[in-house]
Chain A
Amino acid sequence: MNFKKILKIFSGAFAGLLIMAINSANAFTACQVTDVGGVDDKSFNQTAWKGVQDAVAKHGVESKLLESKAETDYEPHLNSMVSAGCDIIVAVGFMMGEATKNAAEAYPDTKFTIIDFAYAETLANVKGQVSATDQAAFLAGYLSAGVSKTGMVGTFGGINIPPVTAFMDGFAWGVKHYNKVKGTNVQVLGWDPDARDGLFTNNFDSLDDGRAFAQNLYDEGADIVLPVAGPVGLGSASLAAELGSDKLKIIGVDADMTMTDPTRKEVYLTSILKHMDVTTLSVIEEVKSGNFSGGVIVGTLENNGVGLAPYHSLANVVSSELAAEVEELRKGIISGSIVMNK
């Protein structure tokens, strides 16, 4: 046994002790890396962060946050969270899919969870959180078709990616279902679920685009608009507030916009809810109790992972029959008696 070998063993043991010391000194830490929308986007970044904060309040864990300013921030932010010794890293958004996969493969001992992404092959240390938003959007589409006076409703998205278009799909199918049931011809502008193309701002941060796109849909006759572009939708809401909710109504996405954007609450007909705070919290709890496994957790109407917000200030334009029909529809989707894409 030469000197070098002894040194190696000692230094190895020392490093091990050091890591153990750090680990035991650190409390359980849940960390979040946001998408470019920022943590106050009144949308999915904020909802996921609420899940982390719920864990802080409920289990006394610690939390860390890094906000991405550009797509190039994803990997460095994830890496710095890894080196900060996080127990679970919450990556927000479909756009971070690639970066999270890379980080998870590079650091197999760190646990990740990613919002809005399900990997084709299961990674043992990543839990994807996806939502069957089309189910809730289907209800919103049916509701809008019933409320619209012009017989036209509109939607636009941020980028043509599955978590965005799931909303638009469900919305368009819901309108189609209404037409089938009622024999009407309500039209959807801005998305064609068969051609898989439509109206997109191609960004998630230019609020002015939200206003311009909603104006455009309004000019074409739509009196209800569903913006699926994070904070960009707030621009649409400000147009609706200026025009008046009798002329243009907005459907919120991800969070109940009546609560998150209270100054313009009168323009929101309803919101398509994604309860990622619920799924995020349950993933954190899984890690904490040691039951974490890689894979996917899906939020549905059934497990309350997605849903429709109350009608709040515009409840008066939703007739009681229509509200009852939407409730029936919800049960129908849960039981499987209603197939959405038909």
Chain B
Amino acid sequence: MNTLNKNEIENTKSKRSKIIGLSLIFFGFVIYLFFGLGIEGQATFRLSRPTDPFALPNLILPAHSFIGLSALLIAFFGGRIIMKAPKNFTIFVALSFFLAIAAFLVWATAGKSFSLTGMLQATVVRAVPIALAAMAGIMCERVAVINIGIEGMLLAGAFAGALFGSIFGNLIGLVLAILVGGGFGFILAALVVTFRVDQIIAGVAINIFVLGITSFLTSHLLKSNPELNDAPIFKSIDIPFFSEIPVLGSVFFKHNIFVYFSIFIVIVSTYYLFKTAYGLRARAVGEHPKAAETLGISVIRTRFNHVIIGGMIAGFGGAWFTLGSVGRFDEGMTGGRGFIGLAAMIFGRWHPIGALFAALVFGFADSLQQKLAILRTPIPSEFLAMAPYLVTIIVVAGIVGNAKPPQAIGKAYVKEN
């Protein structure tokens, strides 16, 4: 009986690798057919700006042979998976994806040029609010509180950042934005932990409330006092030495404090959640609150603390829109980044580093679509604009599949006496 099961497992495994291998071969074929056939010229990727200290030569790739080679490699990976049926073929699938994107870029750029460094830098910048929203989500959901209200908290942070930044300067503006975010975190915690309101409804209520109150204050306060909506922006800080590194320096080390702090938050929260006793307790509250309570952990207090911290991170992320980007508030300016952050959180399997990568994928899709629109590919711009959302859907539906949220998520905890 046992051996039979083993055989069955082996069979399904080899079946799966056959399917994946065959589809990769087909994928490579399709790439060559669509992008490779009849293409001429070279794709030029500019690596440095005219203002950079060391001018790098451009990366020039002959379009036809590069696309042909990529397609061949993808097909080769497919063949390898079928032949060897390796246990872990994620690396080959990931490499194939990378090659496919590279081939697509070369196809779009053939005979033209664009700034690769600029695109990668934009990727990081555009990922920041999404990554921060995802971090806020992780903090809440790890203690089993669903936070749909992140979008509203971002918006509140953006508004507070613009208003208080205009009055007190950007540093105090930032601190107050974080506190406002934390305040909304407290409200959410009070609603769902103490009063056990349905978590989705509480989050939606926060979104609607913040959208309404910020619109009201914008039209009644900021409109008549434009000096209250003119906050100083945090300028970008070049990290000494590192920012001089070609390409990587521009991509990672020439940003404002929001980018550096986001990376810091990711590292700290990873360490906190997975390497400290407090993090372990928080996760226990998210997985099995009753068990945690029997061990002397206060479920209520843990949930309160983490939802407030999540709110503070969202407030910080919201301040990025005003203090880190444009210096003024406008209604609805967060543009749904909070919801995309939630998708990034799921894509990253409730892990800070995973969520950061997910945010970078979205940022990449976003800056890619801008570049493609400038390059004038035959793809219509409306379709290109869908790319970031399309990537989110594909990733969440296709790749994540069976990612498991914390066990107790969405359930209110009733303490037994």
Contacts and interface: CB of A to CB of B under 8 A. Distances in A.
A199 B373 contact: yes
Nearest to A189: B374
A211 B118 CA distance: 13
B119 to A, nearest CB: 8
Contacts of A170: none
A200 B373 CA distance: 8
Contact of B125 (A36, A212, A231): A212
A210 B335 CA distance: 12
Given A199-B373, A220-B118, A206 B333 contact: yes
Contacts of A190: 373-374
Nearest to B327: A238
A302 interface: no
A1 B328 CA distance: 70
Contact of A207 (B118, B122, B330, B373): B330
B118 A202 contact: no
Nearest to A239: B326
A286 interface: no
Contact of B376 (A192, A200, A203): A192
Contact of B326 (A207, A213, A219): A207
A6 interface: no
B77 interface: no
Given A190-B373, A192-B376, A207-B333, A216 B381 contact: no
Contacts of A203: 335
Contacts of A199: 370, 373-374, 381
A205 B332 CA distance: 7
Interface string A193-215: 00101111011011111111101
B301 interface: no
A216 B330 CA distance: 22
B115 to A, nearest CB: 4
Interface string B100-141: 000000000000001101110110011001000000000000
Nearest to B372: A199
A39 B223 contact: yes
A210 B122 contact: no
A216 B126 CA distance: 12
A184 B9 CA distance: 69
Contacts of B13: none
B118 A219 contact: yes
A154 B375 CA distance: 12
A207 B322 CA distance: 9
Given A208-B326, A220-B114, A202 B385 contact: yes
Interface stretch (B35-43, B214-222, B286-294): B214-222
B235 interface: yes
Interface string B218-255: 11001100000010010100000000000000000000
B382 A212 contact: no
Give the interface centre of B328, B334, B367, B374 by most chain A CB atoms within 10 Å.
Answer: B374
Contacts of A231: 330
A88 interface: no
A39 B334 CA distance: 19
Contacts of A305: none
Interface string B270-301: 00000000000000000000000000000000
Interface range for B? 35 or more
Main secondary structure of the interface of A (DSSP, over half): mixed
Contacts of B126: 212
A200 B385 contact: yes
A216 B367 contact: yes
Nearest to A159: B382
A299 interface: no
A219 B235 contact: no
Given A160-B381, A200-B381, A242-B233, A216 B326 contact: no
A108 B393 CA distance: 46
B325 A234 contact: no
B373 A208 contact: no
A160 B49 CA distance: 30
Interface residues of A, number: 39
A38 B380 CA distance: 29
B142 interface: no
A263 B230 CA distance: 8
A215 B325 CA distance: 11
Contacts of A215: 118, 122, 125
A67 interface: yes
Given A203-B335, A220-B118, A263-B230, A211 B325 contact: yes
A80 to B, nearest CB: 17
B335 A219 contact: no
A93 interface: no
Contacts of A210: 326
A235 interface: yes
Contact of A235 (B219, B325, B373): B325
A217 interface: yes
Contacts of A217: 374
B118 A38 contact: no
Contacts of B334: 206
Contacts of B114: 220
Given A69-B215, A197-B380, A220 B325 contact: no
B64 interface: no
A262 to B, nearest CB: 8
Contact of A216 (B122, B215, B233): B122
Contacts of A219: 49, 115, 117-119, 121-122
Interface string A116-157: 000000000000000000000000000000000000001000
Contacts of B122: 212, 215-216, 219
A129 B79 CA distance: 63
A217 B373 CA distance: 11
Interface in A207-250: 207-213, 215-217, 219-220, 231, 234-235, 238, 242
26 contacts: A38-B218, A67-B219, A69-B211, A190-B373, A192-B376, A197-B376, A198-B374, A200-B381, A200-B382, A200-B385, A205-B330, A205-B331, A207-B321, A207-B325, A207-B326, A207-B333, A208-B335, A211-B326, A212-B367, A215-B125, A216-B119, A216-B370, A220-B118, A238-B233, A238-B325, A238-B326
Given A40-B223, A200-B385, A211-B326, 15 more contacts: A38-B219, A41-B330, A67-B215, A199-B374, A200-B373, A205-B331, A208-B333, A213-B370, A216-B119, A219-B115, A219-B121, A220-B374, A231-B330, A242-B233, A242-B235
Q: Which 5 A-B pairs have the closest CB atoms?
A: A219-B118, A206-B335, A40-B223, A235-B326, A199-B373
Interface of B: 49, 114-115, 117-119, 121-122, 125-126, 129, 211, 215, 218-219, 222-223, 230, 233, 235, 321, 325-328, 330-335, 366-367, 370-371, 373-374, 376, 380-382, 385
